Structure 1
Amino acid sequence: MNNMKINRLKIVNYKLFQNVTIEMNENINIFVGENDSGKSTILEALSMVLTGKINGSSVANRLNLDWFNAQVRQKFKESIEAGNTPDLPTIEIEVYFASPDEDEIAIKKYRGTNNSLHEDAEGVKLEIIFDTQYAPAYKQLLVEGKVRDIPVEYYRVNFRSFANPEYYVQTTARKVACIDTTKKDYGPVLSRFVSTSINEYLSEEDMTELRHAYRANRHEFTENQAVIRLNQKLQEGHSFDGKTIGLNLRESGIDEWKGDMSISLDGIPLENSGFGTQNMFKSEIFLLQNTDVDILIIEEPENNLSYSNMSILISKLSESNGKQLFISTHSSFVANKLGLQCLHLVANARTTPFKSLSSDTYNYFLKLPGYNTLRILLANKAILVEGPADELILQRAYIDNYGKQPIEDGIDVVAVDSLAFQRYCELASLISKPLTVVTDNDGNAEAVRKRYEKYTGLVTLCVESDNTLNTLEPSVLAANLDTFESFKSIIYLGKDIESRDPDSIKSFMIGNKTEWSMRVFTSEKKINYPSYILKAIGIDSENVGDRDE
């Protein structure tokens, strides 16, 4: 039997998204993006429309103004201030299901054209709309000039299928499970684990015995001499309307003991374990408890997990056969392990599927070892360099000029095979991610510039303009000829240092790329940098020379 599967999500006017339609993958959907890019909002919207809840509470009970898209809300307010009567904004979230088989009778009943695309399809929608019964009150507020913002107190929440009957959530919610490892809320997951364990492993006679033992312990507590003395003191010093005052335990239901049960690992209460261990256990129990659901929604599964535990969790997620996964992540490891072909890149209030890359570039990244792919996409700013030596020199140039490492300003310096630079440029262009490329001129700076012309406006190209300085080593040496003796003392430690001239030092640098660049990086002395390196870190080349483009 086919499970309930989602092939499209449409969000209108909810938070960052004014109007976005996301085509879903059949099995795994991974949403990646910078902080506040909207990836969590997508999972939130998906959970709201399918379960009727947000963060464990009813959508209707949590409705607030901040849900409305900021631009839409601002436009409404400006129109009101101008004395107009604008249309009242609505929020719509729609889920389109993949065509179910004959066994999915409930889902097939949701087929209709009651959707924004007017398609004849199975689906459900959540609407947050103005409740017309409050129209007279709203009109009176308009007349009195008391409307300043969207009157959310006059709004209602509708759940409708595409066939138009209301409230489908009883069916869809049973097929969905959500977990957010970013929040320390273990109550529902762990309470269910405790309850299930008790019911599975204890007989009715066992539970009757425990109920009796629990009440006996409560009775023993109330008969303790300290409690008796406490009540005697109270009665001596206080009374109310001629009645004595006493303190005692509340009366409890016969199964109150279940609520006092706690989980421990190797004798250590779970709440006293590390956050990573708690998350791993929570996730493990979550997967065990939800073997019968069709859809898993998981917020940042990597949160607080070690590399090994993250590997274990990702393996378990990969084994969730038949389930459709919706995951948000910041982790290149998670994305690579579950499959880059499953990625949705979230930026600029829109989403772009990773597989929309050209086939050559798409296949290149699928085969690429390591996890640089998301580093490029998730950094506030990314600088691509050709190798470890370029990376070390650029990092040290940044430290010398700004007193801190680039990463402290959200700048990720990534060493990439120069032949792949244009692959990364195409990747960055999917989400309009600005990129800086630092590359050798290989004896023809103009030819290098021409290769990147199609990325003008997106890619900042930093290349040595002097064609005689074809790689990093001669460029750095040329920048330090005026202080050659000092520069030589930093990068060369041989006993024959006095006899070494610029040409021999250049030969040493070319033959020992990592060694000389590491010595510069760790030196207490500073060197001079080529203008194209300085341009890459935001230093105006006109102030430091004119070898740059």
Structure 2
Amino acid sequence: MRLEKIFIQNYKKFQEETIKFNQDINIFVGDNNSGKSTILEAISMVITGKVGGLPIINKLNLDWFNSQVRKQFKASLIKQESIEPPEIIIEAYFDISSFSEAEVKLNSYKGSNNFLRENAAGVRVHIKLNPEYSENYKELLKNGKIEDIPIELYKIEFRNFAGSFEYYSTGLAKKIAIIDTTKKDYGSVLNRFISNSISNFLSEDEKANLRVAYRTNRKDFTNSDSFKKLNEKISLDYSFADKKVNINLRENEIDSWKNEMSISLDDIPIENVGFGIQNLLKSHMFLRENTEVDILCVEEPENKLSFTNMSIFIYKLSKLEKQLFISTHSSFVANKLNLKNIHLVSNNNIKKFSDVPKDTYEYFLKLSGYDTLRLILAKTIILVEGPTDELIIQRAYKDKYGVLPIYDGVDVMSLGGVAFKNYCDLAMMSQKEIFITTDNDGNYLRKKEKFKPYSDYVRVFIEENEEKRTLEPSVLSVNSDNFWELKKIIYHGQDADSKTETDILNFMLNNKTDWALRVFQAEHPIKYPNHINELLEALKHEK
């Protein structure tokens, strides 16, 4: 079984969103709090009827509702408007062509009882005001007793698209599994492994022998001299209603010994090995025990793993014949599982990486080992032509704001002028604002015009004086009244006296990274060209 798409209305980040899926691998990439995990959570909710292993109704809370929708509802209450409370809808649309012979029965889930009014096979969860409480709601509303979404009056309704109720109890939940590497929740997986191992490898006689051995050990413990001495001292020190008080082991069920068992790796208890290894083992055992699973959701597979172990884990995931849904911050994970499988999650909208123009997509495909997702994951990003610009921007930012830009969440990325177009395409698709500073190359207006199609999301800062084609003459010009200090910095004080402006400019043009690094490391600041100062000022609002 495969999911074709999911529809989400009013759930957390998503006011109304339809997300189409790949049949094999889906990687959701975005900054923190962008909604990646919400998508995985929504998939799990609509298929299983549960959140975090508990029924949805037990976990329902106000924070589930889209913040904008909730805000509008509360505003209507203040205005004393009569309004229906908001609802949450999550719908999973199945790919009928993916059904196995055993899953053909899912065709009975086909119908148009869905938000999109499509004749499709699928299931939906609908969180809404319980009609039985509608009069209660109206009365409370009339008396001004409603101050927020009245979830106490809500119900959770599960239907398939044919209109039938309670679909999740038919075994559909067995088709999906969730591996959350951010949580230490391996207990249930290990307990199941232990229980299955005992059942598979021990005869009834052998299990009976273990029960006897466990009970004998408990008896030996309570019959030990130290334990008896403890109870003697308690009896002398404390009594209750003329009754003797002592300590004993609890009487347990016949198979309680299984609960005392754990797993060791090379004789080291699993509780004492690293979190990353725990995650690997948990994932390995989980997949081994859940053979019926068709849909696998993995939260941050890179979490707490070394580069080598992460490589192994990602390789194993890629070989599974399952529909994968993965949330990640890692460019490595994204590159290993193919860029065509990436869904960019940004500013409450979701786009497929492959939706960018073809030449841009092919450009990024060639950067298999490159930090492809840096633009998407950065809080704020400045794109520059090369390492010279990068060093100068870094130092200029530090001189203005007291810290390097990265400590304010501002990433400065050097990529070469020919790549600007590709990153601008990416910025437009992900609706992310970016900042660019580049040379005018002798034609300010023509250079500015190149970025005009991207003006909604791209802010460009260029030297207007066309005689100053690159950064070097611009820096030299604004430091003309401070020429001596600039000479000392660039020449490290060596033979600086005899150097003219032409000498300095030639040195800067022929040793671009060297002069920029010396400025970056200098004890005293220099002056910066106007277009750089304008860029820094624009960043003030991003801090």
Under a length normalisation based on structure 1, what TM-score does the superposition of the two structures give?
0.93
- In structure 1, the residue matched to 2:198 is 198
CA distance in 1, matches of 2:539, 2:258: 68
**How big is each residue's C-alpha offset from its partner over 1:486-511, in whole Å with a ceiling of 9 and x where there is no partner?**
22222225954433222222222222
Displacement of 1:461 in angstroms is 0.6
Query: Is 2:244 aligned against 1:239?
Result: no
Which of 12, 17, 26 is matched with 1:20 structurally? 17
CA contact 1:383–1:536 (8 Å) conserved in 2 = no
Letter in 2 for 1:158: E
Q: SS in structure 2 opposite 1:346?
A: strand
- In structure 1, the residue matched to 2:248 is 248
CA contact 1:276–1:305 (8 Å) conserved in 2 = yes
User: Sequence identity, in percent?
Assistant: 51
Which of 81, 86, 105 is matched with 2:83 structurally? 86
Letter in 2 for 1:349: N
**How big is each residue's C-alpha offset from its partner over 1:275-324, in whole Å with a ceiling of 9 and x where there is no partner?**
22222332333333334311100111111222222111111111112x11
Displacement of 1:143 in angstroms is 4.1
CA contact 1:393–1:517 (8 Å) conserved in 2 = yes
Query: Is 2:59 aligned against 1:62?
Result: yes
**How big is each residue's C-alpha offset from its partner over 1:113-168, in whole Å with a ceiling of 9 and x where there is no partner?**
11111111110001112222223433443343322222211211121111122122
Q: SS in structure 1 opposite 2:412?
A: strand
Q: SS in structure 1 opposite 2:91?
A: strand
- In structure 2, the residue matched to 1:544 is none
**How big is each residue's C-alpha offset from its partner over 1:427-474, in whole Å with a ceiling of 9 and x where there is no partner?**
111122111011111111111111111222421111111111111222
CA distance in 2, matches of 1:73, 1:424: 35
Distance change >3 Å, CA 271–CA 46, structure 1 → 2: same
Letter in 2 for 1:336: N
- In structure 2, the residue matched to 1:344 is 343
CA distance in 2, matches of 1:84, 1:403: 50
Q: SS in structure 2 opposite 1:424?
A: helix
CA contact 2:487–2:493 (8 Å) conserved in 1 = no
CA distance in 1, matches of 2:390, 2:359: 27
Structure-to-structure mapping, 1:453-464, within 5 angstroms = 453-464=452-463
**How big is each residue's C-alpha offset from its partner over 1:505-536, in whole Å with a ceiling of 9 and x where there is no partner?**
22222222222222222222322222222222
CA distance in 1, matches of 2:367, 2:82: 56
Q: SS in structure 1 opposite 2:525?
A: coil
Q: SS in structure 2 opposite 1:303?
A: coil
CA distance in 1, matches of 2:78, 2:493: 76
Letter in 1 for 2:194: V
Q: SS in structure 1 opposite 2:128?
A: strand
- In structure 1, the residue matched to 2:183 is 183
CA distance in 1, matches of 2:145, 2:2: 46
Structure-to-structure mapping, 1:475-494, within 5 angstroms = 475-493=474-492
CA distance in 1, matches of 2:478, 2:192: 67
Distance change >3 Å, CA 258–CA 497, structure 1 → 2: same
Displacement of 1:244 in angstroms is 2.2
Which of 30, 33, 42 is matched with 1:33 structurally? 30
CA distance in 2, matches of 1:514, 1:288: 53
CA contact 2:347–2:432 (8 Å) conserved in 1 = no
CA distance in 1, matches of 2:276, 2:140: 52
- In structure 2, the residue matched to 1:135 is 134
CA distance in 1, matches of 2:527, 2:86: 58
CA contact 1:372–1:414 (8 Å) conserved in 2 = no
Structure-to-structure mapping, 1:435-474, within 5 angstroms = 435-474=434-473
- In structure 2, the residue matched to 1:215 is 215
- In structure 2, the residue matched to 1:507 is 506
Letter in 2 for 1:50: I
- In structure 1, the residue matched to 2:229 is 229
Letter in 1 for 2:387: P
CA distance in 2, matches of 1:255, 1:415: 63
Where do 4+ consecutive residues of structure 1 move more than 6 Å?
A: none
Distance change >3 Å, CA 317–CA 540, structure 1 → 2: closer
Distance change >3 Å, CA 256–CA 37, structure 1 → 2: same
Unaligned runs of 5+ in 1: 542-549
CA contact 2:472–2:508 (8 Å) conserved in 1 = yes
CA contact 1:398–1:405 (8 Å) conserved in 2 = yes
Displacement of 1:180 in angstroms is 0.9
CA contact 1:5–1:294 (8 Å) conserved in 2 = yes
The alignment covers a number of residue pairs equal to 537
Displacement of 1:480 in angstroms is 2.4
CA distance in 1, matches of 2:508, 2:286: 55
**How big is each residue's C-alpha offset from its partner over 1:200-224, in whole Å with a ceiling of 9 and x where there is no partner?**
3333333222222211111122122
Q: SS in structure 2 opposite 1:498?
A: coil
- In structure 1, the residue matched to 2:371 is 372
Distance change >3 Å, CA 203–CA 527, structure 1 → 2: farther
CA contact 1:211–1:255 (8 Å) conserved in 2 = yes
CA distance in 2, matches of 1:43, 1:269: 31
Letter in 1 for 2:2: K
CA contact 2:174–2:292 (8 Å) conserved in 1 = no
Letter in 1 for 2:315: S
Deviates further, 12-21 or 233-242? 233-242
**How big is each residue's C-alpha offset from its partner over 1:388-434, in whole Å with a ceiling of 9 and x where there is no partner?**
12111111111222221111111111111211101111111112211
CA contact 1:534–1:540 (8 Å) conserved in 2 = no
Q: SS in structure 2 opposite 1:341?
A: helix
Q: SS in structure 2 opposite 1:11?
A: strand
- In structure 2, the residue matched to 1:545 is none
CA distance in 1, matches of 2:506, 2:289: 64
Structure-to-structure mapping, 1:103-114, within 5 angstroms = 103=101, 104-114=103-113
CA distance in 1, matches of 2:538, 2:154: 53
CA contact 2:40–2:325 (8 Å) conserved in 1 = yes
- In structure 2, the residue matched to 1:288 is 288
CA contact 1:106–1:171 (8 Å) conserved in 2 = no
CA distance in 2, matches of 1:87, 1:371: 50
Structure-to-structure mapping, 1:361-440, within 5 angstroms = 361-440=360-439
Letter in 2 for 1:85: S
Deviates further, 77-86 or 174-183? 77-86
Distance change >3 Å, CA 76–CA 441, structure 1 → 2: same
Distance change >3 Å, CA 481–CA 370, structure 1 → 2: farther
Letter in 2 for 1:66: D
Distance change >3 Å, CA 371–CA 290, structure 1 → 2: farther
Deviates further, 415-424 or 367-376? 367-376
- In structure 2, the residue matched to 1:5 is 2
CA distance in 2, matches of 1:539, 1:459: 12
